[in-house]
Structure formats: structure tokens, C-alpha cells
Chain A
Amino acid sequence: MLWLSDWWAAYQSTLAFSMVNAFFALSSYAVMATGILSFATVAFAAAGGFLGVQLLAVFGVPVWLALPAAALAGCVASVAVSLIFLRLESHWLALASLALILITRILVLNSPALTGGVNGLSVPVEAPLWLLALLLAGTALVFWRLSSSWYGIAACAVREDPAVASSLGIAPKRVQLVAFAISGGVGGLGGVLLAMVLQFISPETYYINIAFTMIAAVVLGGSYHWAGAIVGALVFTALPVLMQALVPAVQDVANGLALLVIMIVLPRGLVDPRAWRARQAAK
């Protein structure tokens, strides 16, 4: 039994991070499921993260109240942002969402009273693993129920072809607005949970690297099913830890190569409903 407790001690934080990353991946998935490539989740995470930490650290608000507040902050930010973003075409929207991350960092750096500025904020409350698991299970349940709801089917139609969707009486922009609201809520929640796992946040916490990582996690896991986001986040968090153990000197090179190979071999990701259907049809 000793090896098990050793293993647990070594990989506990990996598990915590992969669950937090799963929130970000689900948040990115929510908009991707309506055919939008957006990196804006990071900005929503920053909104939720900094507000949540302020509530926890300065106002001493209990965790059960701070978490919904963070989700709400992410949600409000995402709806405000999407009112501008949804006027843009797909390519421009992707560029704009990257710009939003750069602007968020500047805002965070230049409002030290709210965010701690360059020095960041330390977080007095730690997120226990069971809480992360519980919240993730709850969020997954919501995504599961959504996927077979009217909204889920409408989102799928908008992703495949917005023109056909609107001729069927679905308003693509409205579906995408709802998608952004969901993305913001989940992203804001993920933002504060990341802060509680790291116990420290700074402007660099919510920046470009994490944006690219979460999009890569969704696509790697499979962007056509909500479970893909969770699988992708798990793989993408575990992969660097594994490579660190195997080839510490060229860890990033090995990560990149693994990502490259998976994408070229499985461009639709690890969890691919279409491949299941094809396999079933072949039987």
C-alpha cells in the first residue's frame, strides 16, 4: 500500500490542476460547440478569479458564496464581451479574443487596488480535491443535459451551418450569446478555483499560454462532445508531468511532438462521436 500513498502524494496536484483545466476546457468547448473559435475564456477566468479572491481574502466571504459570485462575474463579463464580438466574422473574432487577453493583462496590471498589480494576490483558502471533483461533476451534468436539450441541438445546427440553422427558425447569434454566457460562467468558476489551487494569482496567471493550452486541450480531447474537453484537459495536464519524468531536458519539445502527432493522426480529437457512429454502422 505504500507505493499507492507515494503515488497519491506525487500526483495529487496534477489531479487538482487537471480538474481546474477541465473547467477552462469546458468553457472553451461551450463556445466552440456553436462554431466559434475564441480564446476569451482566459479573460472570464481573470474576472472570476480576481473578484473571487478579493471576496475571499479581503471581505472574508465564505467559499460557498464566493464561487457563485465568481461564476456570475465571468458570466457578466462574457455577455458584455460577446455583444461586441458577435458582430465580427469568425477570423476576426479569434483575433479579437486574443487581443482581449492582452488588454485584460494590462487592465489587471494597472489597477493594483483591485488585483494587486504586478505583485499579485495570495489566496488564503485552499480548494480541497473533493470540492473540485463535486463541482466538475455538477458542471459535467449540466453539459450532459444541455447536449440533448433544444439548446444543444440548436448549437450543433449553428456550428454545422448557420444559414441552414436560421432557415430552420434558430437565431444563430442568440444561440452564440447563450454559449458565451455559459462559457463565462464556467470560466469564471474555473478562474477562482485555479486561484484556490495555486494559492497565488498575478497578471501572468491568466495569460496567453493558458489560452493556447485550453484550446489545445479541447481540440485534443475532441471538440464534438463535452466529454472531449474533460479528457483533453486530463491528457494535457498529465502529459507534461509524464514528459518531465521521462525526458526532463527536452520536456517541451516532447510535449509539442506528442500534440503534433495526435492532431495529425486524430484531427477530430480523442473523443469523437462520429467515429463511434461509423463503428456502429460497420457492425
Chain B
Amino acid sequence: MQLLLEQVVNGCAIGSLYGLFAIGFGLVFATLGILNAAHGTYASFAAIAGYYAATSAGLPFIASTSVGVAAGAALAVMVDQVAFQPLRHRKAGMIGALITSIAFWMILDRLAGLATGEQSLSFPAGTYPGGTWMVGSLPLPQMQVVAIVSLIVVAAGVHWLIAHSRLGAAMRAVGWNEAAAQIAGVNPRLVILATAALAGATSALAGVLAGISTNNVSASLGEGMLLKGFAAVVVGGYEDVRGAAIAGLGLGIAEVLSAQYISTSMRDAITYALLLGFLVLRPRGLFGRVSFVRA
């Protein structure tokens, strides 16, 4: 029982990181219509920026995380403006943006490799809350609590923003039909910038926290996040933030429990079997609604 509880907490912590990343990835997919292969590198660069802020500049945890998040948001805006903006009025569609995002993936992946000197760095102890709280006999590492709380706060915040704020309404409008949104008085350029920054920041937070808790600050960090975040978006549905958050949590728990109780080699198999099952049985995700499509 003790072991099961510990593993569920572990799973929640890992799953929170997947969920956080998936929120950003899904936001870009739903609002901007871009399948962004470069999204994982935002997480890598955020972790790298956070690492150097913590080690070279000696900033405390909150400040270095903020530096990482800001770096991720800035990178997302830069990539959007360089790679996606020129294609928007050319009607190149999802494929064109996919290709330019692949181009940026190749570039940024290599630059991330150069920035870490081709090795995996880890945050030195003392630059983050490394202690453990005890709840009864259940140990709660502080970083795991930080991850879970971050997911809850960010998912609730982003969901409120999209469902209930003016900016969110504008984002949904641009996602549905950019021209119609513009006629209704929305400035699509601003909305696109805000979406890119928000998505970059969310995934960047996942990147920094994952870099700390897995002791792996490198280019491979982003690639792992991209695959798992992608799975969470498919299971949860990209149209709803809550779906991505819950699916991320679920994937994390399923992964840890299957590694513990079934076998380590089957860990990924279970993740992707879930993925396939959802695609076949519930292709629009957990919170997906059937909507009509204009011909």
C-alpha cells in the first residue's frame, strides 16, 4: 500500500510535467493550427537557460525558473515570427508550417547540443528545493509537489483564460477563422503573438521542472517531452486544456505503475496502446465534442 501510494505520487509528478508541456503544445495546435515539431526544443532551451541562471548567475529557484520560462516564451515568439508568420498569408496550410517547424527543430536541437557541450547537465543541489516533506509515513519530495501544484495552477489559469476572458475569446475566434475574427474587431497578429508566448511559457515551465527533477538538462529532454506531450494531447484532445492536463497525469501514473508492477520494457508500450485505443474509440479526446466541419 505504501509502495503503491508512493508510486502514484511519482506518477502524478511525472504526469504533471507531461500535462504542462501538453497544454502548450495543444494550445498551438488548436489556436494556430500548427503541428509544431520544434515545440520540444522550447523545453530544452528553457531548462538550459534556467540552468545557467541558477549556476552562473546564482539566482534562487523562483528567479531561475522565471528566466527559463521567459526564455521559452521569447523563443516561441521568435520561431513563430520567423518560421510561421511568412507562411500565414500564403495559405501554405498545416504542411508548410510543419516543414518550417522541422527546420527549426533541426537548428535548435543542434544549438541546444552546443549549449550544453553535448552532455547532460544537472542542476546542482541547493539551486532548487530538494528536501522531502513527510505526510504520515508518505514521503513527498518538494520538487514533486512543485510540479503537481504548477500543473493545477497553470491548467486552471489557462482554462479560465481561454474559456472566460476576452483574450481567450479572441484566441478561440482566431483558431476558428482568422478572417472572421478580424472582421469582428480582433487583431489576429496580437492574438497569435500572445498564444505563442503563452504556449512557449507553459512548455518552458515543464522543461525547467523536468530538467531539475530528472537531472537531465540536454537536447534529449525536449524530445522526450515532445513525444509524451504529444501522446497527452491526443488522449486529452487539443481543444480543451483540461483534457491535456488530465491525460498527462494519467499517462504519468500509467507509466510509473506499469513499470513497477508489469515490466519496465512494457512501459512505453502501455502509453502508446492507450494512445491507439483513444484514437480508435474516442478520436476527439476526453473532452472532445462533435462539431460540424465546413466543406
Q: What 1/0 flags go to B95-107 for Cβ under 8 Å of A?
A: 1101110111111
**CB within 8 Å of B: which A88-112 residues:** 88-92, 94-96, 98-100, 102-103, 106, 109-110
Contact of B99 among A99, A219, A253 (CB under 8 A): A219
- Closest-by-CB residue of A relative to B30 is A91
9 additional A-B pairs beyond A91-B35, A99-B276, beta carbons within 8 Å, are A84-B279, A84-B280, A94-B35, A99-B279, A219-B96, A259-B106, A260-B83, A260-B103, A264-B83
- Any chain A CB within 8 A of the CB of B262? no
Q: Which residues on A sit within 8 Å (CB–CB) of B107?
A: 252-253, 256-257, 260
Q: Which residues on A sit within 8 Å (CB–CB) of B35?
A: 91, 94-95
Give the contact-size bracket for chain B.
Answer: 35 or more
Q: Give the distance in Å from the alpha carbon of A267 to the alpha carbon of B92 in the complex.
A: 6
- Any chain A CB within 8 A of the CB of B134? no
> Is the Cβ of B103 less than 8 Å from the Cβ of A256?
yes
B interface residues, Cβ below 8 angstroms from A? 29, 33, 35, 37, 82-83, 86-87, 90, 92, 94-96, 98-100, 102-107, 109-111, 114, 227, 230-231, 233-234, 238, 265-266, 268-269, 272-273, 275-276, 279-280, 283-284, 293, 295
- Closest-by-CB residue of A relative to B91 is A267
Q: Which residues on B sit within 8 Å (CB–CB) of A40?
A: none
Closest CB of chain A to B291's CB: distance in Å? 10
Q: List 29 A-B contacts (CB under 8 A).
A: A37-B94, A37-B98, A87-B283, A88-B283, A91-B33, A92-B283, A95-B234, A98-B230, A99-B230, A99-B272, A99-B279, A102-B272, A103-B276, A106-B269, A110-B266, A164-B295, A212-B105, A216-B99, A219-B95, A219-B98, A251-B110, A252-B109, A255-B106, A256-B103, A256-B106, A259-B106, A260-B103, A260-B107, A264-B87
- Any chain B CB within 8 A of the CB of A263? yes
> Is the Cβ of A88 less than 8 Å from the Cβ of B279?
yes
Contact of A212 among B90, B102, B269 (CB under 8 A): B102
Q: Which 10 A-B pairs have the closest CB atoms?
A: A163-B295, A256-B106, A256-B107, A252-B110, A260-B103, A259-B103, A267-B92, A256-B103, A106-B269, A103-B272
Q: Give the distance in Å from the alpha carbon of A208 to the alpha carbon of B37 in the complex.
A: 11
> Is the Cβ of A256 less than 8 Å from the Cβ of B227?
no
Q: Give the distance in Å from the alpha carbon of A263 to the alpha carbon of B85 in the complex.
A: 12
Closest CB of chain A to B69's CB: distance in Å? 25
> Is the Cβ of A220 less than 8 Å from the Cβ of B99?
yes
Closest CB of chain B to A199's CB: distance in Å? 26
Q: Give the distance in Å from the alpha carbon of A160 to the alpha carbon of B114 in the complex.
A: 43
